[in-house]
Structure 1
Amino acid sequence: MPMPENTHWVILAGGQASRMGGNDKGLVQLAGRAMVEHVIDTLKPQTSAITINANRNQDTYRQYGDVFGDHIENYPGPLGGMHAALHHLKDEWIGFVPCDCPRLPVDLVSRMAAACSEDTDIAVAHDGEHIQPVVTLVNRRILPKLEQFLANGDRKIILLYKQCNMITVDFSDQPNAFVNLNTPEELQQFGQDL
């Protein structure tokens, strides 16, 4: 069973960020600091095990901790980061959050872990209206399914989840916690609201 202290959390910063003008989203400035710093600040009180998945600017990301890149070429998206994490880390339970979500719940780790049972493959955050497919806690037993899924050329994250024993974790009391910033305009608007 997962508990906050035996889960490892990965910040996914490995994408191309095409909607952010190609700028590395985790390193884009928000309120004078790299966006990834806001995510780390939220996670650090919740877990001591944080690693970053990045395919660019790895030396810059290393100032924040351990960094690893995808094993699969051509930016396969969040699943590429999940695949790499399951190879890079040995933990049974690995959580994932995107680097462009600066307002994550302060009780994310404990609530995700508490929702799981022994047969849970994937726990996915739910904001009350939609699942948040990149805010997940997965058991490493999904690795064979994930590898087969990627080998088939599939990239749609939710299709993989449907092949697994997935549960959703209710965060409807914090619907704004999963705001993700994909464009310079969203970033600017969000910065004004801080």
Structure 2
Amino acid sequence: MKQPAGVILAGGLARRMGGGDKGLLRLGGQTILSRVIDRLEPQVDGLALNANGDPVRFADIGLPVVADSIDGFVGPLGGVLAGLDWAADRGADHIVTAAADTPFFPCDLVVRLLDAAERGAVPIALAATPDGRQPTFGLWPVALREDLRAALVGGLRKVVLWTDRHGAAEAVFDDAPDPFFNVNTPEDLSRAEGMI
């Protein structure tokens, strides 16, 4: 399998943080988003940002910004679909997604997702911890994008409901502290400062 493209999911509403872009919050002298880019970019072949609204606010990061193609807020699967469409235009076979508010995810995320999919002989792999799946961190095949589009148009919103239809392997990360700690609240941002 060739190296997948990467897509950072930043299309959420950030309600618990008072709205806005959580990825643009400062953490240890740089934005959370720049930390996510630094971790994911070396692992993938090309990188895009999934975000809705005016893309100009991300002009300084130098990445293509792809918006959800399904109207209304449809959750992370809308961002996965936008990423799959972008990747298809580039000739990529797969994407790996990462959340824009999760600055400490593993630097071997992609290789472990690829290995889990290969060992399971399935098209999708999701990151997991001993506490459960981390469905915004996954390996997704471009070949399933029209199936995903139809599912979203049909009203499906839960990631695991769609992934379970196609078979999804799990790549379990039991690193400590929580490798998928994400910044949802001002308190989480303070905790993240202490984790640096």
TM above 0.5, yes or no, is: yes
Contact 2:36/2:100 (CA < 8 Å) preserved in 1?
Answer: yes
Number of corresponding residues = 191
Q: Match for residue 110 of structure 2? A: 109
- Deviations along 1:52-75, one digit per CA (max 9) or x if unpaired, are 111134123232211111111222
Pairing partner for 2:72 from 65, 71, 74: 74
Deviations 1:138-186 (A, max 9, x none): 1122223212221221211111111112110121235611001111121
How many Å apart are 1:193 and its aligned residue?
3.2
Residue 37 of structure 2 corresponds to which residue in structure 1? 40
From 128, 139, 142, the equivalent of 1:140 is 142
Instruction: Identify which of 131, 134, 151 aligns with 2:133.
Output: 131
Asked if the contact 1:97/1:135 (under 8 Å) is kept, the reply is: yes
Match of 1:98 in 2: 99
**What residue in structure 2 maps to residue 85 of structure 1?**
83
Taking a change above 3 Å as real, the CA distance of residues 152 and 104 of structure 1, as seen in their structure-2 partners, is same
CA–CA separation in structure 2 for the residues paired with 1:162 and 1:175 = 28
Residue by residue over 1:62-101, the C-alpha shift from the partner in whole angstroms, topping out at 9 and shown as x without a partner, is 3221111111122211111111112222211111010011
Provide runs of 4+ in structure 1 moved above 6 Å. none
Q: How far apart, in 2, do the equivalents of 1:181 and 1:55 lie?
A: 19
Spell out, residue by residue over 1:85-119, the C-alpha distance to the aligned partner (whole angstroms, 9 max, x if none). Answer: 12222211111010011001011111112222395
Contact in 2 for aligned 1:127/1:174 (Cα 8 Å): no
Q: How many Å separate the matches in 1 of 2:187 and 2:179? A: 19
**Does residue 30 of structure 1 match 2:27?**
yes
SS in 1 for 2:70: coil
Q: Paired residue for 1:20?
A: 17
Moved more, 110-119 or 165-174: 110-119
Does the Cα contact within 8 Å between 1:133 and 1:157 map onto a contact in 2? yes
Aligned to 1:122: 124
> Counterpart in 1 of 2:165?
163
Q: Residue 193 of structure 1 corresponds to which residue in structure 2?
A: 195
RMSD over aligned CA atoms reads 1.7
Work out the CA distance in 2 between the residues paired with 1:36 and 1:56. 17
For 1:175 and 1:184, how far apart are their aligned partners in 2?
19
Take 1:57 and 1:37, find their aligned partners in 2: how far apart are those partners?
Answer: 19
Letter in 1 for 2:170: T
In structure 1, how many angstroms separate the alpha carbons of the residues matched to 2:109 and 2:185?
25
